[in-house]
Each structure stands twice: as C-alpha cells, then as structure tokens.
C-alpha cells in the first residue's frame, strides 16, 4: 500500500474538511472546486504524464498552473470567465495550503501572483413589466399543473430567488400570515428573509391547500414537486419556464429573448426594483449579494438603457461656430486676474 503524498493529503482535507466545515460552503459549490482539480489532473495526465497517486505539491509550480489555464482555453475551448473561475478555486486552495505547509510559501506566493484575464462586462437581459405579465399569464389556471406552474413562476419572480434556492424551499420556510415572508437559503448556506406581495402569498396559500401542504406534518416537504412528490430539479424549473416563454413570445413579439433561464426572472425583478427607485443597498440585501459591486451591474444596465433611449430620440441639432478662446475678452480678463 502506497503512502499518500503531501498533495493527496492536502487536497483531501481541503475538499472534505476545510470547505464544508470551515467555509460552510454548499455541496454544489464544493463540487465546483472538485471539478477544477479533476480538470487539473486530466491536464497533468494528458500533457505532463502525471500519475495522480504519485503527484506532489512541488510539481504544482506557477509555470505548470499557467499551462493548465492556457490548456483550458485552447484545448477545452473554455471562455475567459471559466478560466478565471478555475483560477479562483486554485487561489483559494493555495492560500489555505500556505498555512498548512509554510515551507512551500515562496512557491505559493508565485502561484498567487497569476493574473486574472479581463472579461467584458456581462449584458444584463431582463423582461419589461408587460413581458413579465404576459409570461405569468401563460399557465392554464384550470388545471392543477397550470396552477402549480403559475405559482412557481410568480414566486420565482417576486422573491428574486436563484433557481437552486427555489427548489430547496420547504413548507417550513414560508410564513403566509401578514406580513408574508419567505426564508431562502443561498450561496454558502446563507439565509435571508424576503417579503411576498399579497397576490403571490394568496397564490401560494391556494396552491398549498390544493396540494395538502398546509398540514402540520408537511413542514419538511418540498414546496414544488413532481411525481412521486420529489422536489423539482433545477432543470425541471428551467423546462417549465422555457415552455411558457415560448408561448408568451408569440403574444409580445421581440420582448422575450430566445434564450431564457430562471436567472432572467431574477434580473427582471432587480431591474424593476431599481426603476421603481429602490436603493441599491436594499436590492443587494434582497438578492443576497455579498457585495454591492455585484448589484451595480443593474445600475449600469439601467444607465445604458437610458443612454440608448436618448440617442434614439429626435433632438434638434445646434450648430455652434468655432471660435478662438482668445477672442473672448471677458475670459481673457478673468485669466489675467489669476496671475496677480
């Protein structure tokens, strides 16, 4: 039986102890870190002839990791954003290793010096209020599935929830007595409480009564489920949204983008709050962002929309004849006084 290498021991503790116990990260986030190292091992096997069980920390130098990041872009055709995401995972690992193996600090400092690649600011796509209304009107209120889907879409929009937050909702997370609120569990298992509009709370209450979720023994049941009472998956929610988006597209031509995901409703809610005059700090807390700089993408998108509207407006052109500033006697007199 071979003895585990230093890299094997450190990586096992990082994924199995540090991330879940000390950082309190969700299982899905930990899987993203794990996938980074799976790709690194694949790169090592294909490009460097590594044998994973013999791999040591000393082999992880800056040149090696820079080659790995280049491999992601050139061989796997990953975008810059994905490349930076993998680099973020590596940085987190090696910052932790610096405390666990200080004898490798110089090597780690060189690795932490690997630069990010600049990416273009993402364009925020969102629905207008009319388009959002058209989308919410699509589910058939005469069928049980249609009523479920209308409640799901309304709750997804009204709370600005991420799709994983939505599928994780349990009955106990809802309080429908005034003021109605929903507790969401977001990234890093952080919990936040968001208010529900009265119309949405009424929809949810009727849905729960129909599905017999309002009984005391149903507190741990998922709010949205398929048969046989299994929680809907992220892909299931995406399918439902895309089905109704296709129907709504015919009613409001040009208002529903061809590519639709649950995050579109989150963007839409944020933009509608901003356009209603809600402060960015409140929107940050509502969405569960850890930093207001993340929320500022909506302010930039709103400013860009206003700029385009101004450019497309018909504004009379004013022609001003060029004139030398030296011909302005008042200006020359004022400038002369500055030197006294």
- pTM of the complete model beyond 0.85: no
The pLDDT, as a whole number, for residue 301 is: 60
Higher pLDDT, residue 252 or 295? 252
Verify that 190 and 286 share a domain, yes or no: yes
Verify that 143 and 230 share a domain, yes or no: yes
Where does a domain end: 271, 291, 311? 291
pLDDT digits (tens, 9 = 90+) for 101-158: 999 999 999 999 999 988 776 667 889 889 999 999 999 999 999 999 999 999 999 9
Verify that 105 and 158 share a domain, yes or no: no
Domain that holds residue 108: 6-112
Verify that 80 and 152 share a domain, yes or no: no
- 8 Å CB contact between 262 and 163: yes
User: What is the radius of gyration, based on Cα positions, of the chain?
Assistant: 27
Domain for residue 333, yes or no? no
Domain for residue 338, yes or no? no
Verify that 25 and 74 share a domain, yes or no: yes
Mean pLDDT to the nearest integer, 34-42 = 95
Where does a domain end: 291, 311, 330? 291
Verify that 70 and 135 share a domain, yes or no: no
Verify that 100 and 164 share a domain, yes or no: no
Q: 3-class secondary structure for the chain?
A: CCCCCHHHHHHHHHHHHHHHHHCCCCHHHHHHHHHHHHHHHHHHHHHHCCCHHHCCHHHCCHHHHHHHHHHHHHCCCCCHHHHHHHHHHHHHHHHHHHHHCHHHHHHHHHHHCCCCCCCCCCCCCCCCHHHHHHHHCCCCCCCHHHHHHHHHHHHHHHHCCCHHHHHCCEHHHEECCCCCEEEEECHHHCEEEEECCHHHHHHHHHHHHHCCCCCHHHCCCECCEECCCEECCHHHHHHHHHHHHHHHHHHCCCCCCCCCCHHHHHHHHHHHHHHCCCCHHHHHHHHCCCCHHHHHHHHHHHHHHHHHHHHHCCCCCCCCCCCCHHHCHHHHHHHHHHCC
Verify that 146 and 270 share a domain, yes or no: yes
Place of tokens 């460097």: 48
Domain for residue 38, yes or no? yes
pLDDT digits (tens, 9 = 90+) for 152-178: 999 999 999 999 999 999 999 999 988
CATH number at residue 190: 1.10.443.10
Domain for residue 144, yes or no? yes
Mean pLDDT to the nearest integer, 304-318 = 47
Domain for residue 236, yes or no? yes
Verify that 143 and 268 share a domain, yes or no: yes
Q: What is the mean pLDDT of the chain?
A: 85
Domain for residue 208, yes or no? yes
Higher pLDDT, residue 328 or 216? 216
Verify that 99 and 226 share a domain, yes or no: no
User: What is the tally of structural domains in the chain?
Assistant: 2
Verify that 86 and 176 share a domain, yes or no: no
pLDDT digits (tens, 9 = 90+) for 110-126: 999 999 988 776 667 88
Mean pLDDT to the nearest integer, 189-201 = 88
Domain for residue 310, yes or no? no
CA distance 273 to 156: 15
The pLDDT, as a whole number, for residue 286 is: 83
Domain for residue 143, yes or no? yes
The pLDDT, as a whole number, for residue 292 is: 66
Positions marked catalytic: 162, 187, 263, 266, 289, 298
Verify that 24 and 143 share a domain, yes or no: no
């Amino acid at each position: 039986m071979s003895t585990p290498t230093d890299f094997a021991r450190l990586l096992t503790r990082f994924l199995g102890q540090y991330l879940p116990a000390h950082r309190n990260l969700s299982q899905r986030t930990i899987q993203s870190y794990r996938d980074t190292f799976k790709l690194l091992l694949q790169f090592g096997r294909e490009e460097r002839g590594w044998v994973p069980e013999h791999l040591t920390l000393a082999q992880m130098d800056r040149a090696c990791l820079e080659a790995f990041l280049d491999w992601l872009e050139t061989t796997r055709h990953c975008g810059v954003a994905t490349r930076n995401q993998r680099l973020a995972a590596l940085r987190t690992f090696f910052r932790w290793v610096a405390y666990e193996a200080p004898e490798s600090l110089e090597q780690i400092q060189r690795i932490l010096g690997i630069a990010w690649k600049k990416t273009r600011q993402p364009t925020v796509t969102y629905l207008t209020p009319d388009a959002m209304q058209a989308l919410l009107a699509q589910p058939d209120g005469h069928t049980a599935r249609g009523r479920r889907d209308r409640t799901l879409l309304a709750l997804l929009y009204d709370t600005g929830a991420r799709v994983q937050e939505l599928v994780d909702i349990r009955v106990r997370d809802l309080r429908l007595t005034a003021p109605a609120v929903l507790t969401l569990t977001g990234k890093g298992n952080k919990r936040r409480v968001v208010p529900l509009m009265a119309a949405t709370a009424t929809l949810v209450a009727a849905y729960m009564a129909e599905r017999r979720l309002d009984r005391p023994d149903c507190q741990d049941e998922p709010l949205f489920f398929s048969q046989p009472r299994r929680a809907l998956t992220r892909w299931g929610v995406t399918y439902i949204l895309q089905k109704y988006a296709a129907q709504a597209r015919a009613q409001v031509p040009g208002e529903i983008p061809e590519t639709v995901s649950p995050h579109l409703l989150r963007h839409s809610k944020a933009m509608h709050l901003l356009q209603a005059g809600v402060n960015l700090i409140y929107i940050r807390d509502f969405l569960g962002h850890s930093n207001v700089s993340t929320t500022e993408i909506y302010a930039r998108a709103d400013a860009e929309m206003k700029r385009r509207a101004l450019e497309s407006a018909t504004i009379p052109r004013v022609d001003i004849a060029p004139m030398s500033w030296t011909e302005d006697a008042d200006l020359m007199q004022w400038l002369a006084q500055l030197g006294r």
